[in-house]
Amino acid sequence: MAKELTPRSENYSQWYNELVVKADLAENSAVRGCMVIKPYGYAIWEKMQAELDRMFKETGHVNAYFPLFIPKSFFSKEASHVEGFAKECAVVTHYRLKNDPEGNGIIVDPDAKLEEELIVRPTSETIIWNTYKNWIQSYRDLPILCNQWANVVRWEMRTRLFLRTAEFLWQEGHTAHATEAEALEETEKMVNVYGDFAEQFMAMPVIKGAKSENERFAGALETYTIEALMQDGKALQSGTSHFLGQNFAKAFDVKFANRDGKDDYVWATSWGVSTRLMGALVMAHSDDNGLVLPPKLAPFQVVIVPIYRKDEQLAAINEKVDEIITKLKAKGITVKYDNADTKKPGWKFAEYELKGVPVRLGIGPRDLENGTVEVARRDTLEKNVVELDNIDQYVADLLEKIQQNIYQKAFDYRTTHTTKVDTYEEFKEVLNGKGGFILAHWDGTPETEQKIKDETKATIRCIPFEGEKEEGKCIYTGNPSSQRVLFALAY
């Protein structure tokens, strides 16, 4: 079949690129660096969106929408923020086109220059804090707990579908609080929401922690992150939550009268995940046969394929399948019945394996006689013949097992690819050989972190919240260190 993939062991990067395209998740577009998310890929994103949106609302957040364009002057108000994003900004300078009098098609009308250039949103802190200034006068107006689902543009030259594109989809939460303690509590709460989503729905184990100063979001005092390990031993930052202190409130002069009647600056957070999670999902679980999707995020959890030679056989199978679908749907299971006669069953089996459908049911005339059905699970590729009587309960239980098994497999991979090292030599050896997460002592200085990065390309993924806080000596300088931090090569 034309669907064969380059094995992961041969070229992981090529395997990933081929799989995203062949499984119909996304493709490159006519616009350089931008992607088209295809219906099957978008269906997975919609599932992610729905679960995250529910989790946000359960924690008291509401959705709003802010402009795509941000006046250039807004960016100059928070120095470290603009410095962090300056190189990635797309800028709108004119507002009109016209026919070229020389007859060379359409040109930008030189008379239609904007008085002030507009930046296409790379992130929304500035426009949102300019807006919050009008919403906040007193402590009674706080907290504001807003989220927006939107697209952002960060001009990237070297792009990869889902992992890094010039335009991508995301959500960004922006909250305003009366006290530092409340804002810090929000920052922590949201990184935990992301962690729960990754583990419970994506079946992807993550390590939660704080970013080092070098790796922090531009304009934040603290950045908390969830870090996942991909099957090639590289880390992927999968969600971040930022404590912004009063930086943006000061930049946009957002003050409120506190309970004592005194004026104070508002405390802020922002947090987000993006379509990069789609890349994480592919890389964390899939194999050389194609996608492996956790049942909770699969566009459909079960596909049923009829196996027949004659039309009357198909009619009898259709009737039985209607009953099966009704029973499965009653259990909240999503099903696709593929009885199109344009493709043979073998082709369909390969196609749904490639697309990562968690459970496949194959049913033919002999199955009708015996009251059975063949059940194939995508994660282990095992097949069993099962009685039709309790098929709904059997499939429901199997989907739970698959969800758990996918998580366990990723967890075991991470465990065997997490290594403690005590010397710089050992660090380099593990990094270039085994790969994965490395727990090592670091003296806490940005200079040391930068030197390690320059020499090895490895970065501090996070300073983990959990795990023993054992003291030791920095692998690079030998200076004292209060705990091990998580290093890795990263996407």
**What is residue 167's three-state secondary structure?**
strand
In this structure, what token pair is assigned to residue 101?
């009098």
The pLDDT-based confidence of 160 (bands split at 50, 70, 90) is very high
**Residue-level pLDDT at 80:** 86
- 273-320 pLDDT, tens digit per residue, is 999 999 999 999 999 999 999 999 999 999 999 999 999 999 999 999
* Mean pLDDT, range 200-216, rounded to an integer: 97
**pLDDT exceeding 90 applies to what percent of the chain?**
95
**Residue-level pLDDT at 19:** 98
Q: What's the pTM value of the predicted model, to 2 decimals?
A: 0.96
Q: Rounded mean pLDDT of the chain?
A: 96
- 458-482 pLDDT, tens digit per residue, is 999 999 999 888 999 999 999 999 9
CA distance 319 to 49: 35
CA distance 265 to 254: 6
Backbone angles phi, psi at 167, to 5 degrees: -120, 135
CA distance 192 to 177: 19
* Mean pLDDT, range 79-99, rounded to an integer: 92
**Residue-level pLDDT at 3:** 67
CA-based Rg of the chain, rounded to a whole angstrom? 26
CA distance 271 to 226: 12
CA distance 467 to 415: 13
CA distance 149 to 63: 8
* Mean pLDDT, range 372-379, rounded to an integer: 98
CA distance 354 to 286: 9
Distances (CA, A) of 51 to 54, 144, 281: 5, 22, 15
- 10-60 pLDDT, tens digit per residue, is 999 999 999 999 999 999 999 999 999 999 999 999 999 999 999 999 999
Least confident residue range of 79-83, 379-383, 397-401: 79-83
**Residue-level pLDDT at 1:** 45
**pLDDT exceeding 70 applies to what percent of the chain?**
99
**Residue-level pLDDT at 128:** 98
**Residue-level pLDDT at 82:** 82
Task: List CB contacts of 159: < 8 A, sequence separation 6 or more.
Answer: 33, 35, 165, 166
- 91-103 pLDDT, tens digit per residue, is 999 999 999 999 9
Q: Is residue 411 exposed (0-12), middle (13-18) or buried (19+ Cβ within 10 Å)?
A: middle
* Mean pLDDT, range 239-264, rounded to an integer: 97
DSSP state of 155: -
Yes or no: say if 294 and 378 are a contact pair by the CB < 8 Å rule.
no
* Mean pLDDT, range 207-220, rounded to an integer: 95
* Alpha-helix residue ranges (DSSP H) falling in 156-290: 180-200, 247-251, 276-285
Residue 79 pLDDT greater than 90, yes or no: no
* Mean pLDDT, range 200-210, rounded to an integer: 98
Least confident residue range of 72-86, 363-377, 398-412: 72-86
